[in-house]
């Protein structure tokens, strides 16, 4: 009996595995509304951090530790936006089939993804309110194009 179990186990490793997945995460965990909502939270953190960095920079020697915390926080939330665009929307939600059936919509979504990634990068690099405002506008535009139920 032991031998037959061992033989079956050995042959099970030789059997071809046919696993078909259409996304990087199990279905039902993420959806566009939740991901976009978390991106808005990331944005709000970037916006607040930028304002705090500007204020605390008026006396950097006194506020060195807080400045470091806000800078790190701002950069991590900007990176989080970039990661969500790259790993969720570009990798899973923007479909090549849409490029064939509705090229204009596909290109618009692709451009928005790129603009958000670049603008989030600029938010990491500075506290320029222009970049923060641009990221805000792009995210609302993005939300409309990805067809969420909110707003």
Q: State the pTM of this model.
A: 0.78
Task: Kindly report the CATH number that applies to the domain delimited by 32-145.
Answer: 1.20.120.400
Yes or no: say if 131 and 119 are a contact pair by the CB < 8 Å rule: yes
Q: What is the mean pLDDT of residues 124-132?
A: 97
Enumerate the domain spans of the chain. Answer: 32-145
Q: Give the pair of three-digit tokens for residue 64.
A: 């060195």
Q: How confident is residue 127, by pLDDT bands cut at 50, 70 and 90? A: very high
pLDDT in tens, 49-84: 999 999 999 999 999 999 999 999 999 999 999 999
Q: What is the mean pLDDT of the chain?
A: 84
CA-to-CA separations, 149 to 17, 36, 37, 136, in angstroms, rounded: 38, 11, 11, 18
pLDDT at 52 (0 to 100): 98
Task: Measure Cα distances from 26 to 21, 29, 90, 110 in Å.
Answer: 9, 6, 17, 24
pLDDT digits (tens, 9 = 90+) for 5-35: 555 445 455 544 444 444 555 555 667 888 8
* Cβ atoms within 10 Å, residue 9: 9
The per-residue pLDDT for 114 is 97
Give the pLDDT score at 134.
Answer: 98
DSSP for residue 24: S
pLDDT at 26: 56
Of 135 and 148, more confident: 135
């Amino acid at each position: 009996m032991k031998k037959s179990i061992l033989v079956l186990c050995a042959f099970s490793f030789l059997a071809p595995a046919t696993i078909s997945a259409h996304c990087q995460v199990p279905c039902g965990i993420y959806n566009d509304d939740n991901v976009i909502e978390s991106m808005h939270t990331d944005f709000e953190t970037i916006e607040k951090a930028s304002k705090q960095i500007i204020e605390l920079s008026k006396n950097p020697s006194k506020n060195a530790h807080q400045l470091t915390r806000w800078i790190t926080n701002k950069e991590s939330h900007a990176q989080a936006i970039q990661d969500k665009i790259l790993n969720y929307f570009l990798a899973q939600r923007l479909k090549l089939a849409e490029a064939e059936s509705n090229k204009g919509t596909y290109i618009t979504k692709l451009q928005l993804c790129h603009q958000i990634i670049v603008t989030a990068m600029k938010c990491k690099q500075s506290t320029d309110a222009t970049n923060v405002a641009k990221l805000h506008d792009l995210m609302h535009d993005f939300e409309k194009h990805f067809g969420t139920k909110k707003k």
